[in-house]
Amino acid sequence: MKKRILSMILAATMVFALALTGCGSNDSGSSSDSGSGSDSGSEEKAESNGKKVGVAMPTQSSERWIKDGENMKKQLEALGYEVDLQYAEDDIQAQTSQLETMIAQQVDCLVIASIDSEALVNVLDQAKEANIPVIAYDRLLMSTDAVSYYASFDNEGVGRKIGEYIEEKAGLATATEPQTIEFFMGSPDDNNAVLLHKGVMGVLQKYLDNGTLVCKSGRTSFEDTCILRWSQETAQQNCENFLTGFYADEDLDIACSAFDGFAYGIKAALEAAGYSEEDWPIITGQDAEVMAVKNIIDGKQTATIFKDTGLLAEKCAGMVKAVSEGSEPEVNDTETYDNGKMVVPSYLCEPLSLDKDNYKELVIDSGYYKEEEIMNAK
């Protein structure tokens, strides 16, 4: 009730002024702050092979990239490489400078998870001129022929899994009543986000078309739902705007979110609007961060996508080894990832849906997380 009254007042004053912050916004999207240029410890340093790898990661503001960086460093060091691991805190210029420094140091290989996949074309040309092979890590490097291989997950598959989870959980195939849904999609400068949206819509579009799903904001296209730099704050603000603008007298049933960080922002917006256990919507995510798994256990997030970053690092380290030894790495896709200049041979790992029913098996029993890590997540 509290929620409805608040919503009605806010809706009356805000409905005309509703300005959803989306792709055009300039948020940096950090959920916690940390400096750049971090190093993490390695357990299994092998004897040096005399080669150095530059690893450029986008940000430490989300847990997944910290884990990715740690895994890459560990895996490469176990193969005898020296590793220069750098984070750029979602600052494109900082990432470019880090890469320039690595090229000047004549590293033997570059592994790059870009901030903006189109922004590195010039620095990648420099790498090519210096004969330094480049491997795109998780995010495809666009509009360049300077990239040798790509290690990632099936990114359209991530979206498909999110769509299928919602389809199943909301019982869409047999639903007799319409359900409301809003979309929170990834960064427009990240090819993964485009593919994820395609995967989601491949499953859910038919339910929007036949009225089983109703998106009251009307925002379903990628352009209308993308969130620059995967910003948690923007997701929260968008959700607040959706709730006050469109959900004054009807509940939001489903928040189709492409990222755990968005799910945290959505949770905060719902709590502020008075949603409780009885009317809490289905909320999805991506990355299976410890906080997300805790929220899933607590019923504040419904599902996420588990991407085993240890496996990704292993596949990527194998690529580094192959290019630096002049052999062929393991790939399993030579068709999908066209970056506008070339089709990049790829290894795609499988993403898995995680919820309350299978989290134990996927992330605890497998040793991916310790139970206390999840319980102590803040």
Kindly state the tokens that stand for 248: 């004054």
| Residue from the set 137, 150, 165, 230 that interacts with ligand BGC by CB under 6 A | 230
Q: Can residue 190 be called a binding residue for ligand BGC (CB under 6 A)?
A: yes
Q: Can residue 160 be called a binding residue for ligand BGC (CB under 6 A)?
A: no
| Dist CA 220 CA 218 (whole Å) | 6
* Angle at which helices 2-14 and 232-246 cross, to 10°: 90
Beta carbons of 63 and 57 less than 8 angstroms apart: no
Residue 46's contacts (CB-CB under 8 Å, 6 or more residues apart) are 77, 78, 79, 80
Kindly state the tokens that stand for 207: 């339910």
| Residue from the set 52, 67, 74, 139 that interacts with ligand BGC by CB under 6 A | 139
| Dist CA 201 CA 308 (whole Å) | 24
Per-residue x/- track, 72-111, ligand BGC (CB under 6 A) = ----------------------------------------
Choice between 182 and 287, CB closer to ligand BGC: 287
| Dist CA 15 CA 192 (whole Å) | 32
Q: Can residue 257 be called a binding residue for ligand BGC (CB under 6 A)?
A: no
Per-residue x/- track, 265-294, ligand BGC (CB under 6 A) = ---------------------xx-------
Beta carbons of 78 and 44 less than 8 angstroms apart: yes
Positions 305 through 334 that interact with ligand BGC (CB under 6 A): 307
DSSP state of 328: P
Choice between 132 and 193, CB closer to ligand BGC: 193
DSSP state of 183: E
Choice between 207 and 306, CB closer to ligand BGC: 306
Beta carbons of 269 and 255 less than 8 angstroms apart: no
For the bound state, the minimum distance from the C-beta of residue 247 to ligand BGC, rounded and expressed in Å, comes to 26
Q: Which stretch binds ligand BGC (CB under 6 A): 11-19, 44-52, 186-194, 328-336?
A: 186-194
Contact footprint for ligand BGC (CB under 6 A): 62, 64, 138-139, 186, 190, 192, 230, 259, 286-287, 307
